[in-house]
Amino acid sequence: MTTATVTVTNPSGIHTRPAAMLVQLAARYQCEFTIGLHGYVINGKSILGVLTLAAEQGAELELTFEGSEEAAACAAMVAFFESGLHE
């Protein structure tokens, strides 16, 4: 299991477009992926799950990966968040 904590830096938070890009990125890797926020844990490969978090700017998310490509998935997801969700 690989974990990382990331902060949402995008001023608009995680809205529809970055949520879709996040799910598409996660789907490239053969591993389970969950996101935790305020005691909720959702499937990071589900766009509805990601949107229900309503993560705003400044939110700290706990990312958890488990599976054969967990390290690569974690690195890619951390880079995605560090880029400001490509916005």
Domains parsed from the chain with CATH numbers: 2-82 (3.30.1340.10)
Active site residue 86: no
Burial of 35 (0-12, 13-18, 19+ CB in 10 A): buried
Contacts of 45 (CB under 8 A, 6+ apart): 23, 26, 27, 33
**pLDDT (tens digit per residue) in 26-81:** 999 999 999 999 999 999 999 999 999 999 999 999 999 999 999 999 999 999 99
Per-residue pLDDT band at 86 (split at 50, 70, 90): confident
Q: Which is catalytic among the residues 9, 15, 37, 76?
A: 15
pLDDT at 36: 96
